[in-house]
Structure 1
C-alpha cells in the first residue's frame, strides 16, 4: 500500500504526531545535554568542574570541600567520619593532604602521609588557632577544631589560589557552548524543514485533488460534461472524485437520453402529423366528391363510401398503435408471464397460421432445438411481437412471396429467436433505427397504408417488458434478420401472474 492510499484521517494523525514528536525529541536531546552539563556543577563532579574552568575550578572545589568538612565536623552522630571522607578525597584529588582527629586521636590521614609531619606543618603555619585557613600563590593550609564535637581537621598541600601560566588552556567550555548552539540551530532547521515538507505533502495529496474537483464542478456548471477527473488516489478524496466522475457520466448519459427523447418526440409529432394528414386528406377528398356530386352513380358513391370506411379503419389502427406504444413507453401495460416451452409454442402457432400466411405470400419454416426450453412470456403480447415481425416481412417482400425462417438457438442461459426473411432488406445505416417510432426506410413516407411505422417500436417495448433484447441484422444473400434474446427459465411450466410495466 502506498502512502497516498492511506486514509486522510490516518495521514493527518501521522503528520500531527510527527510534527509534535520530532520537536519534542530534539528538545529532549537538548535538555539532556544541558542536564549533563549542569551535573558538572554537582558536589560529586569537582574534578570535571576543574577541567572546565582550570583557573577557578580548583579554588571552588577546595572552598566547597573545606566548608563541607567544617559543617560535618560539628555533627555528633556516628556516621560523620564516613561523610567527611568524601570531602577529604576531593581535597586529596587537588594535591592536598588531610588529617582528621577525634579528641586528639588520629582517626584518618591521607594514605602514605605521616600524621605527625602533617600536624607539625599545619601548626607551624596556623599556630594554635581554632579555625585558620591560609591560601597563597604557593600552598594551601587549613586547620579547624570543633569545640562542640572535639573533631579536628587539618589540611595542607601545594595548591595555588590562582592558576599559573604553566596550566594548559582548556576550551571545553567554549566547545560545549558551541555544541549547544549548533544543536539548537540544527533543531530549528529540521523543524522548519519537516513543517514545510509535510505541508507540501498535504498540499499535493489533499489540496490538488480538491482543486481538480473544483475545476471539474465549474466546467460542469458551464455545461461541459467532457472534463475528466484524473485522480488516482484510493483514499476518501479519491473515492469522492470517482463518485463525482460517475455522477458526470450519469449527467452526460441523462443529457444524451434527453436529447434523444427530444429528437424522438419531434419525430413522433412529425410522424403523427404526416400519418394523420394523408388519410384525413383522403377522407376530405372522398367526402367532398360525394357532396359536390362528383360521385353521381350508385357504384361510384359506393366506392367513395368504401374508401372513406377503409381510410377510417386505417386511422383507427394508427390511433390504437399509438395508444399501445404510449402505454408501453409509460410502463402501464401489465404482463401476464407464463413459463412456456417455446418449441411447442411456435409449432402450434405455425400449425394455426401457416395456411393463412401462405395465401398472403409468406412461407413459414421453423427450426427448433432438441431439448425442452422454457421461457417466461405473455402469450398475448408475444403473439403481437410475432405477428408484427411477420407483417413487416410481408410489407417489404421483393417478389410475390417471401420466406421467413424462425430459428431457435441457445446461447448460455438465454434463448435466441431469429426471424430470417429474404425480402428487400435494409441498408446498414438503417439497422440501428428500425425500432425507432415512425421510422421507415422509405424517406418519402408515401405508403402510409402499409403501416403506421410503430410496429417495430412496439415490438421493442414488448421484448423489453419480457426482460429480453432485440436487434436487426442483414441476412446473408439479402433480406432482414430480427433477433430476440430471452432469458431461459428453469422449472416446470406453470403460470406466473406478474404485473410489470417493462
Structure 2
C-alpha cells in the first residue's frame, strides 16, 4: 500500500477530534446528571461536530486525490475534455464526457444523413440526366446509320435532339441555381415594381403552353396595380414555375389556373390555384423536396427537372417569406406566398 502523507495527516486530525470529543463527553458525564437536559444537548452537539468534521475531511480527500488522478490521466484525454487551466473534479469530468458523447452522436447522425442525402442526390441527378442523354444518343445513332439521308427523318430527329438538349440544359441550370441558393452565393437585386404587371407578362409567356393543354389562365386582383419590393427576376421564376406546374397538372377538359393578388397590412398576398388533379395528403408535405414528383412519369414527359418547387421555396426564403400549399385530391391545388408591399 502506497504511503500518503495527506491521508496520515487527515487521520491524525480525525483522531485528535475524536479524543477531544471523548474528553468533553467524559467531563459532561461527571458534571451533569444522566437525566439533565444539558447532557443530551452536549451529546447531540458532539455528534453534529464529529459528523461535520468527518464530512469536510473526507470530501477534501476525495477532491484532492480525484483532481490529482485527473491531472495524471489528462495527457490521454481528448482535447475537447482536457483543460489544463481548469481544476476539474470527477463530476465535472463526467459531465464533459457526457457532452462530448452527445456531440459525437449528433455529428455521426448528421454525417449519416448527409451520406444518405448524397447518395439520393447523385442517384436523382444521374437519373435525370440519363433520359435526355440516352434519347440524344439514340437519335444520333439512327442518323449515323443512314437516317441522315432521309430528309424527313433527319429533320424530325434533329428537332427531337434539340428538345432533348434544351431539357438537358434546363436541368443543369436548375441544378446550378439550387446549389448556389443552398451555398448562399445568390444575392437579391431588390427593386420596386408592379407585381400585377409581372403576372400579366408571365401569363402572356405561358399562353401557348396553356392553349395546348386547353387551360385558361386568369388574374383576379383587388387593385389594378400592386407594387412590391423584391427581386423582379427571381419572382418571375417563382411565378413561372407555379403557373407552369398548374398548367402541366391540369387534367380536366376545361382547366382553369387562377392567380389572385390581394393586400393584407404591409404584404401583398399571391395565390396560384388550379382545378386539376390535386395532391394526395401524404405527398403534400414533400412537394418542396428536390427531385420529388407527385406523378413522376408524367412530369418527366413534360420535361421538368423536379427542382422547380425547391427553387421556388429557396427564392422566397431569400426574401424572408414562406410558401404554403393546400390541396384536395382530384379537385385542385393552391400555392400561396406573400411579398413586402412597396410604398
TM-score interval w.r.t. the shorter chain? 0.5 to 0.7
Q: Which residue of 1 aligns with 2:182?
A: 329
Give runs of aligned pairs for residues 269-288 of structure 1, distance below 5 A: 269-288=122-141
**Residues 1:482 and 2:340 aligned together:** no
Deviations 1:28-74 (A, max 9, x none): xx9xxx9xxxxxxxxxxxxxxxxxxxxxxxxxxxxxxxxxxxxxxxx
Superposed displacement of residue 351, structure 1? 7.4
Corresponding residue for residue 397 of structure 1: 250
Q: Which residue of 1 aligns with 2:47?
A: 189
Choose between structure 1 and 2: higher helix proportion.
Answer: 2
The answer to whether structure 1 residue 217 and structure 2 residue 99 are counterparts is: yes
Check 1:318–1:372 CA distance in 2 against 1; reply closer, same or farther (3 A cut).
closer
Match of 2:170 among 290, 313, 317: 317
1:125-164 aligned at under 5 Å gives the runs none
* Structure 1 unaligned spans of 5+: 1-26, 35-173, 201-206, 226-250, 493-502
Call closer, same or farther: CA 1:413–1:221 in 2, change over 3 Å.
Answer: same
Give the drift of 1:335.
0.6
CA distance in 2 between partners of 1:446 and 1:476 (Å)? 17
Q: Which residue of 1 aligns with 2:220?
A: 367
Does residue 465 in structure 1 map to residue 318 in structure 2?
yes
| Structure with the greater alpha carbon radius of gyration | 1
- Choose from 156, 159, 169 the match for 1:303: 156
Residues 295-348 of structure 1 show CA distances to partners (whole Å, capped at 9, x for unaligned) of 5422112212222222222212221222222222222122111244545654x5
TM-score (norm 1): 0.48
Higher relative contact order (CA 8 A, sep 6+): 2
| 1:268 equivalent in structure 2 | 121
Kept in 2: contact 1:364–1:404 (CA 8 A): yes
Contact 1:337 1:378 in 2 (8 A): yes
Corresponding residue number in structure 2 for 1:169? none
Contact 1:368 1:409 in 2 (8 A): yes
CA spacing shift, 1:219–1:421, aligned 2, 3 Å: same
Separation (CA, whole Å) in 1 of partners of 2:277 and 2:145: 43
Query: CA, structure 1 residues 190+425, in 2 after alignment: closer, same or farther (shift >3 Å)?
Result: same
Secondary structure of 2:256's counterpart equals strand
Structure 2 CA distance for partners of 1:221 and 1:313, relative to 1, 3 Å: closer
* Conserved? CA contact 1:343–1:369, under 8 Å: no
Question: Size of the alignment, in residue pairs?
Answer: 288
- Partner-residue secondary structure (3-state), 1:447: helix
Contact 1:421 1:475 in 2 (8 A): no
Compute the TM-score of the two structures, normalised by the length of structure 2: 0.67
- Which of residues 241, 244, 247 is equivalent to 1:388? 241
Does the Cα contact within 8 Å between 1:421 and 1:479 map onto a contact in 2? yes
8 Å CA contact 2:223–2:262 kept in 1: the answer is no
Per-residue deviation, residues 238-280 of structure 1 (Å, max 9, x unmatched): xxxxxxxxxxxxx69xx45x55544443232222211211111
